[in-house]
Every structure is written in structure tokens, then in C-alpha cells.
Amino acid sequence: MNRREAIRQLGVGAALPVIGDLTFAELLEVGRGVRSGLGRPETAVLLALTERQAMTVASLAEIIIPRTDTPGATDVGVTTFIDRIVAEWYTDEERGRFEAGLAALDARARQLFGVEFLQAGSAEQEILASELDQELQAAIQRDRERPSGQGSRARDLFFYQMKRLTLTGYFTSEVAMTEVLGYRIVPGAYQPCIPLDP
């Protein structure tokens, strides 16, 4: 499915802004549309990411949403989802920024730990992800303090892109919607008073 076909399927219209400018609701709609064309994650062919980049994305996505008593990011095919978004929805500039972010992640891991991100241990990977998240939170805070109309610096950060794609890919999956959010696609009979899970 190419970008134009996806836009038509989603009914968003020809004036759809670049993916980075979408609201969360629009992003969820895009996510559902992308997921409808993915098929099974384990059989998917990479379209934009190299095998190594996909493994880095998978490791980082699993740090963002790890497997606990609910499925983690890799369990629901977030890597395939991100690859499809980068291939079919990102502009050349957005794709370049994402790939540069992956390269910078490896460079930073080499500087801190002497190895690239994938070769670092899970504790080191989590430390690096935590640092990136702290930098993102600081950028978000600076954005809040800037006069309106000056744009967002946080949105330009790789970790902003990565978190946004991971969360969208995760929460548009059927598994996350049903097992994590408790969403029932086809509800049964009307039940006005039912106990809710915490």
C-alpha cells in the first residue's frame, strides 16, 4: 500500500499533513489503516529499515513498552509497524531524521559503553533510553516556556519520534486494544452497570 492509497482508505483527504503534524486521534486512525495492511509481523518484509536498524528499533521499543503481565511492543509487531510508517508515510526529511537518530544512538552508546546500542547489555540500553527520555522531557518543558507560535523543539528529537511511533503501533494493535485497554470490538447486550477493572 502506498501513501496515497492509505490516505484514500482512511478518508483523511488529500490535504493530510506530514505524519509528525498529526494529532493523536489522526495518528491512531493512520495506525489502524497501516495495521490493516501489515499481515503477520513475523512474516513481514522490511521496506525502509535495514535488518540492523530494525533490531535496534525492536530493542528500543521493548524498553519503551516492555513485556510484563501484558504483551510488550515486540509482541504486537511494533517494529514492522514502524518500518511501514517510515517507508510509506514519512517524507524524505522525516525518514532521514529517523535514520540519523538511529545512527546517533549507536554513536552515543559507543561513547558511553564502548559498543553500539545492540551490543550493549540490557542495563546499559535502559540507561541510554532513560537519558534520551530525560532530554525529551526537558525539551518539552522548554517548549512550554517558549512564546506560542515558535514551534516545538521536542518534536525534532529522535526519541520523540520513537516513542510516538511505538505508542501508536502498540495501541493500534488488536492485542493491546483488547488485552491492555479492555476494548471490546463487538460488545454484547447492553449492560448499564458493570464492574470495571482497575
Residue 185 lies in a domain: no
Q: Please indicate, yes or no, if residue 121 is contained in any of the structural domains.
A: yes
Instruction: Give the C-alpha separation, 123 to 142, whole Å.
Output: 29
In whole angstroms, give the CA distance from residue 173 to residue 31: 8
Does 136 reside within a domain? yes
Give, in order, the Cα–Cα distances in Å from 106 to each of 49, 81, 100. 15, 22, 10
Say if 191 falls within a structural domain: no
Number of domains in the chain: 1
Between helices 92-113 and 78-88, what is the axis angle to 10°? Answer: 130
Whether the model pTM is above 0.95: no
Q: What is the pLDDT of residues 11-65, one digit of tens each?
A: 333 323 345 556 656 666 666 666 666 555 555 678 889 999 999 999 999 999 9
Check pLDDT > 80 for residue 189.
no
Do residues 24 and 95 make contact, with C-beta atoms less than 8 angstroms apart? no
Q: Of residues 17 and 73, which shows the higher confidence score?
A: 73
**Residue 193 domain-assigned?**
no
Any domain includes 196 = no
Look up residue 141 and give its three cell numbers: 518543558
Q: Which domain holds residue 9?
A: 3-180
Task: Count the Cβ atoms, other than its own, within 10 Å of residue 164.
Answer: 17
Is 145 inside any structural domain? Answer: yes
